[in-house]
Amino acid sequence: MENEELNRFPLIGDKFPEMTVQTTEGKVKLPGDYSGKWVVLFSHPADYTPVCTTEFVAFAKRKDEFDKLNTALVGLSIDQIFSHIKWDEWIEENLDVKINFPIIADANGDIAKKIGMVHPGKGSQTVRAVFIIDPQGFIRLILYYPQEIGRNMDEIVRSIKALQVSDEKGVAVPANWPENELIKDRLIIPPPTDKAAAKKRLEEHECYDWWFCHKENK
């Protein structure tokens, strides 16, 4: 029972638990130090591994794009701080890419276990988890990848853009947005709550039917 609790899968909509962590850029309070910003917290199985190295390079190369979205990047693995620092240096020296975001040192695995980044059957290594946390500190999206498969960073960027648009305009976002096969970059209007509203929306919006209406993204 205790092990199950430690590995509890955090739920979308949960408040991210307050914690103070040691990173390559000093101590950080999560999510408090990032209040008012979106956060992408992601775990990787281990330093000095090929897939993880490609992921860190991909994240670093998109740092400006995340900055424009008011989004901070924070990495984590069950490694000691000196390992993170040395791997960070290796990437810059050998691949000419500067890792421009903090990496949490979780040598005992306590943090990873607390938020469900360690899964049964995977030993003591973290899986490739992604938590997108909103400016109020709530978990809004969770992605899990196996150790063998690297993440798609463009999808993480797209997800943040979609969440921000959804929050700002009170809409839903279609598959593959902004290149949806049916409605392109348009946005889906939430379903009506009564018959009168269902009839009225057919007069006010473009619709396939009253339950599937959409509007321009403006």
- The per-residue pLDDT for range 103-147, each reduced to its tens digit, is 999 988 888 888 888 876 656 678 899 999 999 999 999 999 988
Give a yes or no: residue 38 inside a domain. Answer: yes
* pLDDT confidence of residue 122: 59
For residues 12-39, average pLDDT = 96
Both 174 and 75 in one domain: the answer is no
Q: Which domain holds residue 209?
A: 170-218
Both 35 and 142 in one domain: the answer is yes
Angle subtended at Cα 42 by Cα 152 and Cα 59, rounded to the nearest 5 degrees = 50
Both 97 and 179 in one domain: the answer is no
Give a yes or no: residue 158 inside a domain. Answer: no
Distances (CA, A) of 99 to 40, 111, 155, 164, 167: 15, 22, 20, 26, 30
Both 110 and 218 in one domain: the answer is no
* pLDDT confidence of residue 5: 47
Residues noted as catalytic: 52
Instruction: Assign residue 40 the CATH number of its domain.
Output: 3.40.30.10
Query: What percentage of the chain exceeds 90 in pLDDT?
Result: 79
How do strand 187-188 and strand 212-215 relate by DSSP bridges?
Answer: antiparallel
Give a yes or no: residue 160 inside a domain. Answer: no
- The per-residue pLDDT for range 137-177, each reduced to its tens digit, is 999 999 999 889 999 999 999 999 999 999 999 999 999 99
* pLDDT confidence of residue 123: 62
Instruction: Assign residue 191 the CATH number of its domain.
Output: 3.30.1020.10
In the chain, the number of structural domains is 2
Can you read off the two tokens belonging to residue 215?
């509007």
Give a yes or no: residue 19 inside a domain. Answer: yes
* pLDDT confidence of residue 121: 64
Model confidence, pTM: 0.91
* pLDDT confidence of residue 8: 58
Four-CA torsion 79, 82, 87, 92, nearest 10 degrees: 150
- The per-residue pLDDT for range 60-103, each reduced to its tens digit, is 999 999 999 999 999 999 899 999 999 999 999 999 999 999 99
Give a yes or no: residue 161 inside a domain. Answer: no
Both 13 and 118 in one domain: the answer is yes
